[in-house]
Amino acid sequence: MLTTIIKIKGMTCMGCVNSVKNVLKNVTGVTQVDASLDPPQATVQYDQASTSIDLLKEAIIDAGFEVIDA
């Protein structure tokens, strides 16, 4: 299992946080998700054999949010 932190732009309320959590939980291989407004990010634990950081970011973008690459 790997854990990654993805910085997200566009989350303005707890509804946004819940949306991000839900889309990430639906990605195959994701085992745990925590998202927050301050700082605006998601911490995701996932199986690298089943998914990748790129697929996680794609799910966030598809949900209408922007991923910040630092």
Q: Is the pLDDT of residue 9 over 90?
A: yes
Q: What is the CATH number of the domain that holds 33?
A: 3.30.70.100
Give the pTM.
0.91
Q: 10-69 pLDDT, tens per residue?
A: 999 999 999 999 999 999 999 999 999 999 999 999 999 999 999 999 999 999 999 998
pLDDT at position 70: 59
The pLDDT value given to residue 69: 82
Domain containing 29: what range?
Answer: 2-68
Contacts of range 42-51, beta carbons closer than 8 Å, 24 or more positions apart: 42/5, 42/6, 42/8, 43/3, 43/4, 43/5, 44/3, 44/4, 44/5, 44/6, 45/1, 45/2, 45/3, 46/1, 46/2, 46/3, 46/4, 47/1, 47/2, 48/1, 48/2, 51/27
Number of domains in the chain: 1
